[in-house]
Structure 1
Amino acid sequence: MHTGDFCLIPPGVHHSLDVCNYSIVLNILITEAKFKNIIFNELKADNLISSFFIGNIYSENVNDFIIFHTNGDRQIQELILDLCLEQVNQKDYYKYMINADILKLLGLLLRNYERTCDVPRIRKKKDSENFSILQYIEQNYRSLTLLELAEHFHYSAQHMSHRLKQITGMAFTEYLLQKRMKLAADMLVNTSVRVKSIGENAGYQSQEHFIRTFRKYYGVTPGAYRAMHQKG
């Protein structure tokens, strides 16, 4: 790597930093959940970072990295510095500022350096469709059925079920349940929204059904889960 290079490393790839001179290396960690939210809800178009991320999260064939050669791009340097300062100072609304900086950073990398970056292997056309399937689920999972998903992509329900199993390693119902429960858990920990409203946001019209499902998944009721994490 050279001065100004930005290396994107996906989850699950073991790596270490080794600097033998007076270089400065910044290691920025983004949670998988946060990065998923950015990829599916913000960077919605088919692009290098989206395909790279999907391929590594849902495929056994892992790409180790992407390196963007920014050549000391001043705008990117200032964004990264601002990210660090926001995290250290933690002023009001710092999380919103960090999210905005991350999104702008990824956008600039794609806009200015996508064509010159180093990628371990060539993207496949199938990766793009897999991304589209997962993105559609992300945007509609609160009320989506397997048949609706299959019809949207002009496949049979059986083919779509098999396709999703290949991408995620999970059945359709299992994948939706995981997404709904993670959304609910996140809202319980990070918001003061009522349990009933959280259940509705996760796609459950019945509060009793939501509570039963949540307790079966996490082993405690939503109220107990919230109390446990608030104490923590």
Structure 2
Amino acid sequence: MIQNQSLAARFQELTDSERMFRELYFAKKEPDQLRRYLASLPQERQKPVRDWLQAEKGVILSELTENLAEFDFSDNVIVTRHARYTPAFVHKHTFFEIVCVLEGNCVNRIGDTCLSMSDGDLCMISPGVYHALQETEGSHIFNILIKHYSLMETLSNFLLQKNALAGFFIQSLYMKNTKHYLSFHTKGDREIQHLLEALILEEVSAEERSRDEQHSALKEAYLNALLNLLARSHTEAAECEGISVANSRLIFEIQKYLTSNLQTATLQSLAEHFNYSPSYLSRLIQQSAGTNFSKILRRIKINKACSLLSNTDLNVNEIGEQTGYRCQRQFNRAFQDVIHMTPSEYRKQHRLLLL
């Protein structure tokens, strides 16, 4: 149950979208009723509703990115409310998601796993994992969304820790055979609930007033505090696939060095930093991450480039140089291989969200 009365009062009434989803929710209970409902819709609404029904069956698979207009990803961390009665459409996304059940119940289908969630449950979902959320009537569910390419900046100190939660984030970013989810049961933990509600309230309050320069910093501080409390008190009871903390720690230390030396880093310089031979370090990276040094370095360079494209006015040539690409053509090709659009296209899409 939501403890903060100011927060609870904001979500008593259904929004226009929720009323529309509610009509569909009850119409789906009987085939004849659904046919009549679809026939009664204006022509322009029929296709979106039919698409939702197809997506709910998994016939249409959606991919959500940081560049979609419905997500204001001008901050590294955003909080959205899961609209009540939303169809359980199958989708994946390029960002991290934390599903938070403040009140009620839902079934979170993640890949082949059906995860039952109730009051106080939180579930971290990796980028690129297909999932769908089926809630029960009257639930209050929120999603914390975290930019994948700025994760190291947002959670820099937390990711240095040796625990399963930090390991989950590192493996999701840089290692193959990514763990799909990590779920926590925190019902009765008042500190966790207080932090969650403070984070949500900070987000919704900003929608009603002009954002100040503390808004983004506060959300990141609340998130870091929340993750630290989860790591301290709830990791032993967490539901997850196996996570290798030792391997994740090594990959994080490698990532930290490469980030600080993007323009000059090589396998040789990295090996010297860790006092390994290049051949041994190469094998160690392959065993730990399931990928090679070059691919990890490229991923880190492109993550940094995304951040610079989104948050600075540097031109594309300068960003290529700052991320270690002396040839503009090489930078463009590497960026397209990872992000599937040119740096200019990425900047244009993201800047539209900031205007």
Q: Is residue 214 from structure 1 mapped to residue 303 from structure 2 by the alignment?
A: no
- Partners of 2:121 and 2:130 in 1: CA distance: 19
Distance 1:18 1:99 in 2: 28
Length, aligned pairs only = 228
Tell me: higher relative CO, structure 1 or 2? Use CA pairs within 8 A at least 6 residues apart.
Answer: 1
The answer on whether the counterparts of 1:65 and 1:120 sit within 8 Å (CA) in structure 2 is yes
Once the two structures are overlaid, the 10-residue window that deviates more, 116-125 or 179-188, is 116-125
Partners of 1:145 and 1:85 lie apart in 2 by 45
Scaled by the length of structure 1, what TM-score is found? 0.75
Say which structure is richer in strand. Answer: 2
Is the 8 Å Cα contact of residues 176 and 289 (structure 2) preserved in structure 1? no
Query: Which 4+ residue blocks in structure 1 deviate beyond 6 angstroms?
Result: 194-197, 219-225
| Corresponding residue to 1:92 among 212, 221, 230 | 212
Aligned with 1:15 (options 125, 131, 147): 131
Aligned to 2:40: none
Separation of aligned partners in 2, 1:13 and 1:222: 25
Q: Determine helix, strand or coil for the equivalent of 2:160.
A: coil
- Mark the structure with the bigger radius of gyration: 2
- State the shift of 1:157 in Å: 0.8
Q: Which residue of 1 aligns with 2:142?
A: 26
| 2:276 corresponds to | 155
Higher mean C-alpha displacement, 8-17 vs 175-184: 175-184
Aligned in 2, Cα 1:189/1:118: closer, same or farther, shift over 3 Å? closer
Is the 2:181–2:241 Cα contact (8 Å) retained in structure 1?
yes
What SS class does the counterpart of residue 276 from structure 2 fall into? Answer: coil
Which residue matches 2:164? 48
- What's the CA shift for 1:212? 5.1
Report percent identity of matched pairs.
35
161-170 vs 18-27, which moves further: 161-170
Structure 1: distance between partners of 2:232 and 2:292 = 36
Aligned position for 2:230: 109
Change (3 A) 1:191 1:165: same
| CA–CA distance in structure 2, aligned partners of residues 35 and 224 of structure 1 | 22
Provide, for residues 159-197 of structure 1, a one-character-per-residue CA deviation record: whole Å limited to 9, x for no partner: 323443455565434432442243234213322356687
2:304 aligned to which of 165, 179, 183: 183
Residues 25 and 224 of structure 1: CA distance in aligned 2, closer, same or farther (over 3 Å): closer
TM-score by length of 2: 0.52
Question: Following the alignment from structure 1 to structure 2, what is the Cα–Cα distance between the partners of residues 222 and 59?
Answer: 24
Unaligned residue ranges in structure 2 (runs of 5+): 1-116
Q: 1:188 to 1:49 in 2, by over 3 A?
A: same
Aligned to 2:153: 37
| Distance in 2 separating the partners of 1:127 and 1:226 | 31
The answer for the alignment partner of 1:61 in structure 2 is 177
Q: Against the structure 1 CA distance between its residues 135 and 49, is the aligned structure 2 distance closer, same or farther, given a 3 Å change threshold?
A: farther
Structure 1: give runs of 5+ residues left out of the alignment: none
CA offset at residue 11 of structure 1? 2.0
Instruction: Give the whole-Å Cα distance in 2 for the aligned partners of 1:149 and 1:170.
Output: 16
Report the residue type matching 2:139 in the other structure: S
Following superposition of structure 1 onto structure 2, how do residues 111-126 of structure 1 map, counting pairs within 5 Å? Answer: 111-121=232-242, 123=244, 125-126=246-247
Relative distance call for 1:140 and 1:189 in structure 2 (3 A) is same
Q: CA RMSD in A?
A: 3.5
C-alpha displacement at 1:215, in angstroms? 4.1
In structure 2, the CA distance between the partners of 1:182 and 1:115, relative to structure 1 (3 Å rule), is closer
